[in-house]
Amino acid sequence: MNVVFDFAGVLFHWQPPELLSRLLPHRTPDEAAARRLVDDIFQGYTGDWGDFDRGTVEPGPLAERIARRTGLPVDEVRRVIDGVPDELTPIAGTVALLRELHAAGRPLYFLSNMPEPYAQHLEATHDFLGLFRDGVFSARARLCKPEPEIFAHCERRFGLDPAHTIFIDDVAHNVAAARAAGWRALQFIDPGQCGAALRAEGAL
């Protein structure tokens, strides 16, 4: 059984409202304001930020595009862009699951919507990524979840049999897209729930 992990929100902490509240406190007086700002900047990971995930825009031009669209100062937008790596800290329980799966001999892979600067940061910072046999970052593939093409790309690159592959993602439409591609998939809520689901699937 192959196991394919998402990164942000599954293996690494990712809470954009917390990020913006920390970096731009004057613009996020409460949770509702923080969530509105998340929507404005990240656009549900489509639009400007989607192009960043896809690897077709660099941080500088991205900051200018978001500033023009939202009216935020460029320096504040750049503070957010540059602050993301510090937000992507490992989720200890998921790292423990990763190690348990590796010890059980499960082939491990990753599939992450991730801009190139953040991909490089994670690769340089976290030794446990060496437990993966291979992985795909969206910025390098020029494809993003939930596009069907990125799942086909992974099948070819990793040599996967979809029927013997479990994909773990925290975003419902990515899970649905994986299932539509013939993969087994589960939506991540927390490490305990994920571990129980993997055991139910026979992966652990």
pLDDT of residue 20: 96
Is 59 found in the same domain as 97? no
For residues 52 and 204, the model is more confident at 52
Is 163 found in the same domain as 70? no
pLDDT of residue 180: 97
Q: What is the mean pLDDT of residues 128-156?
A: 98
Q: What is the mean pLDDT of residues 17-27?
A: 96
In this structure, what CATH number is given to the domain that contains residue 158? Answer: 3.40.50.1000
Is 135 found in the same domain as 56? no
- Percentage above 70 pLDDT, the chain: 100
pLDDT, tens digit, 9 for 90 and up, residues 156-200: 999 999 999 999 999 999 999 999 999 999 999 999 999 999 999
**Cα–Cα distance between 186 and 172 in angstroms, integer?**
9
pLDDT, tens digit, 9 for 90 and up, residues 49-86: 999 999 999 999 999 999 999 999 999 999 999 999 99
pLDDT of residue 18: 95
Mean pLDDT of the chain: 97
pLDDT of residue 24: 96
Residue 128 Cα to chain centre, angstroms: 16
Is 178 found in the same domain as 121? yes
Domain of 110 in residue numbering reads as 2-13+89-200
Q: Is the pTM of this model over 0.85?
A: yes
Is 58 found in the same domain as 96? no
Tell me the sheet residues that pair with 101.
none
Is 132 found in the same domain as 70? no
pLDDT of residue 161: 95
Element containing residue 137 per DSSP (H, E): strand 134-137
Is 192 found in the same domain as 94? yes
Count of the separate structural domains present in the chain = 2
Select from 86, 121, 142 the last residue of a domain: 86
Is 148 found in the same domain as 65? no
Select from 28, 59, 86 the last residue of a domain: 86
pLDDT of residue 12: 98
**Cα–Cα distance between 71 and 24 in angstroms, integer?**
14
